[in-house]
Structure 1
Amino acid sequence: MRVFQSFCYYPSYRPRLRRLATNAATFRQQIEVFFADRYGASHILLPVIRADPDAFFTNWDDDDLQRAWAREAGMAKSASLEDILLAQIESHRTDIFYNIDPVRLENGFLARLPGCVKKTIAWRAAPSGNVDFSKYDLVVCNFPAILADLSQRGYRTAYFAPAHDPAMDPFADNSERPIDVIFVGGYSRHHLRRAEILNSVAGLADQFKIVFHLDASRLSRLAESPIGFLPPLARHRRPQDVRSVSKLPAFGLDLYYALSQAKIVLNGAIDMAGNDRGNMRCFEGMGCGALLLSDDGRYPDGMVPGNTLLTYDSATDAVAQIRRLLADHDQRRAIAREGHKMVSTRYSKEIQWLRFQELL
């Protein structure tokens, strides 16, 4: 079975990747740099990680990477990124096309796929508006509410979860954790519940070591710059307590390291999947050996409040839980250990790959 995994990454990650890949000229060298940094590794299939010759992987919208492949393949400089992706699929003689970015690669692209492709699978873990997935054979993610909505729209769906990246295990072994609470993610005034939680937890910074690695919006960055006094920008300025504990976004191995320095990883949903939970920070926080403190909701199998993680039901409760956990070292460490043990076994790469094959 020849599997082609088409991937993409957040624009905020691009500067880091370009810096890491400064001396990588070829397509293969750039891919190896990307793999070494572990970005998105929980979603990358086992044959890709093992460099199976029947597996092919690319970040389809990375212009530097894709044009390196195109040069090596003798393609014209005018070729579009979609043209390059199609050429890669044809060259690879792909059987299974697994796409992480189906919103931008819609039906028009799938209609151009070569005849060797027998099945197309899309990962979609967010609301999709009017995007048409009808040409995909299957749409997958680990949020039942999103899958139910897609099913009601006539698409074939299946539950499929991220996996534990074994490269996290050395980070999980770290027992020296100078950061009391860490949060990694986005902050937006539109995500009212998450903003309320972060505002409250940031207020603990006078008593504990609190660190937020925030991917701020362009307007937030402007609002907090010297021109931020302009009235239209004022509403995009983050509260002072949040700004005082904020650092730059963390990606790849820097993310793993940051999580390994924390006693507690704070997590919060952004209302995109109803009451379902199980975003990437759940897998990463437990995978790197921290205690996961997340919001109430329906969690994937094995993520059991009071056993492998703890949950809160309000900003006030989150603050109270943090105070209690930082005073109760034994319980915090015991739940963190159970969380890592569960995610590293139940959600192993081997099990993820078996499940992917079952989907076919």
Structure 2
Amino acid sequence: MRLFQNSCFYPSYLPRLNQLAAKAVSFEERRRVFLNDRFGASHFLQPVLDGSPEAFFTNGDDEVLQRRWAREQGMGGEPTLEAILLAQIEHHATEVFYNLDPVRYPSAFVAKLPGCVKKALCWRGAPSGNADFTAYGAVLANFPTMLDMWRRKGCRAELFYPAHDPVMDEYGHGERPIDVVFVGGYSRHHRERAKTLERVARLADSHEVVFCLDASRLTKLAESAIGRLLPLRQHRRPDAIAAIARPPVFGRDLYELIGSAKIALNGSIDMAGEDRGNMRCFESMGCGALLVSDAGRYIDGMESGITIETYDTPEHAAEVIARSLQDWPRSAEIAALGRARIRDIYHKDMQWKLFVEVVGRL
């Protein structure tokens, strides 16, 4: 199978990538730096991580990376990122195109794929407005309600999962000086999460609590000197959160941070419904922290009181965390079992096997 996997990253990750890749002068060198940093690695298929000659990987939204490829291949002028991606697919003689960025490259893009592409799939685990993915052979996600939503929109949808990144095994084997860590976004889409963060932030008076927040542009504006003169109070972070907030962390720095924490707090976004099991769950458990997350329907291997702990309300979250820290030997056993369970169930070989099976059904 000649596989092409297209990915993307958060705009806030770009400064880190540019710093890490400061000495990279070619497409291959910059791509290698990115893959080594492991941003989003739970979604990258085994042949990509193995460097298989039949697998091609790129970030179609990385203008620096893509324009380097275009120059190296002799593409003239200033081609669009879409034109470069299509040229890469044709150059690679791709048979199966797997896209992690379908909002940027929806059905209209699929219609332009070269004839060598036999099957096109995409991953989308969140609502996407009016984006059209019906031209894809299948939309993949690990939330049943999300799959039902895509089917109602006329898409074929198939169950699929992130996987344990084996590099996580390198982290989290020493002391864990941080009591509670949270890493994630903070925006108008996270109102319930924000209530939980505010309540847990109060534990910082007696515990080591670290929040690394990727604040939205509106939140940043609201907290700026000019923004404080505008009617944006509802978009500012509460004082308890702002007092301990740090910049977002990504890649191996994220693994290192979670591996230094006893507890990793997670909270689903408001649009997730009752389904649970986002990538942060995989990262938290994979790096050996005790996952404390909001109650809901979790995937196999994530069981409250056995491999994770769950909470129902912001107040309950603080209670669960305090209790877990008080009885840390028991909590550490739950975390260790969770780490082993995720590694055993959702390993990369399983993910690739499932992908091949899905492709075979299309």
Give the alignment's TM-score, normalised by structure 1.
0.98
Deviates most, 181-190 or 242-251: 181-190
Tell me, yes or no, if structure 1 residue 320 matches structure 2 residue 333.
no
- Letter matched to residue 348 of structure 1: H
Aligned length: 359
Q: How does 1:297-336 map to 2 (within 5 A)?
A: 297-336=296-335
Contact 2:172-2:256 at 8 Å conserved across structures: no
Deviates most, 149-158 or 21-30: 149-158
Shift of the alpha carbon at 1:296? 0.3
- Letter matched to residue 17 of structure 1: L
State the match for 2:79 in structure 1. 79
Shift of the alpha carbon at 1:208? 0.5
State the match for 1:23 in structure 2. 23
- Letter matched to residue 205 of structure 2: D
- Letter matched to residue 20 of structure 2: L
State the match for 1:102 in structure 2. 102
Query: Match of 1:6, SS?
Result: strand
2-structure distance, mates of 1:188, 1:105: 24
Shift of the alpha carbon at 1:134? 1.5
Contact 2:189-2:270 at 8 Å conserved across structures: no
2-structure distance, mates of 1:134, 1:329: 49
State the match for 2:67 in structure 1. 67
2-structure distance, mates of 1:230, 1:271: 29
2-structure distance, mates of 1:149, 1:177: 40
State the match for 1:132 in structure 2. 132
1-structure distance, mates of 2:227, 2:70: 43
Q: Which runs of 5+ in 1 are unaligned?
A: none
2-structure distance, mates of 1:51, 1:258: 27
Shift of the alpha carbon at 1:350? 0.7
CA deviation vs aligned residue, 1:41-71 (integer Å, no higher than 9, x gap) = 0000000000000000000111000000000
Query: Match of 2:58, SS?
Result: strand
Q: How does 1:28-67 map to 2 (within 5 A)?
A: 28-67=28-67
Q: Which runs of 5+ in 2 are unaligned?
A: none
Contact 2:290-2:335 at 8 Å conserved across structures: yes
Contact 2:222-2:230 at 8 Å conserved across structures: no
Q: For the structure 1 residues 220 and 347, does the alpha-carbon distance in structure 2 shift closer, same or farther, using more than 3 Å as the test? A: same
Q: How does 1:148-187 map to 2 (within 5 A)?
A: 148-174=148-174, 176-187=175-186
Tell me, yes or no, if structure 1 residue 282 matches structure 2 residue 271.
no
- Letter matched to residue 271 of structure 2: M
2-structure distance, mates of 1:46, 1:226: 47
Contact 2:189-2:269 at 8 Å conserved across structures: no
- Letter matched to residue 284 of structure 1: E
State the match for 1:146 in structure 2. 146
1-structure distance, mates of 2:354, 2:325: 38
Contact 2:179-2:262 at 8 Å conserved across structures: yes
Contact 2:184-2:213 at 8 Å conserved across structures: yes
State the match for 2:265 in structure 1. 266
Tell me, yes or no, if structure 1 residue 245 matches structure 2 residue 244.
yes
Query: Match of 2:231, SS?
Result: helix
State the match for 1:204 in structure 2. 203
CA deviation vs aligned residue, 1:91-148 (integer Å, no higher than 9, x gap) = 1000000000111112221111111100000101001222211210011011110101
CA deviation vs aligned residue, 1:240-263 (integer Å, no higher than 9, x gap) = 100111100010011001101110
State the match for 1:254 in structure 2. 253
- Letter matched to residue 59 of structure 1: N
- Letter matched to residue 163 of structure 2: A
Q: How does 1:205-224 map to 2 (within 5 A)?
A: 205-224=204-223
2-structure distance, mates of 1:231, 1:30: 41
CA deviation vs aligned residue, 1:3-34 (integer Å, no higher than 9, x gap) = 00011001110010011111101000000000
Give the alignment's TM-score, normalised by structure 2.
0.97
Shift of the alpha carbon at 1:212? 0.3
- Letter matched to residue 122 of structure 1: C
- Letter matched to residue 325 of structure 1: S
Q: How does 1:215-234 map to 2 (within 5 A)?
A: 215-234=214-233
Shift of the alpha carbon at 1:40? 0.4
Shift of the alpha carbon at 1:189? 4.4
2-structure distance, mates of 1:235, 1:110: 40
Shift of the alpha carbon at 1:234? 2.9
2-structure distance, mates of 1:224, 1:133: 37
State the match for 1:235 in structure 2. 234
Tell me, yes or no, if structure 1 residue 117 matches structure 2 residue 114.
no
2-structure distance, mates of 1:228, 1:9: 27
Shift of the alpha carbon at 1:190? 4.3
2-structure distance, mates of 1:236, 1:151: 34
Shift of the alpha carbon at 1:192? 2.1
State the match for 2:8 in structure 1. 8
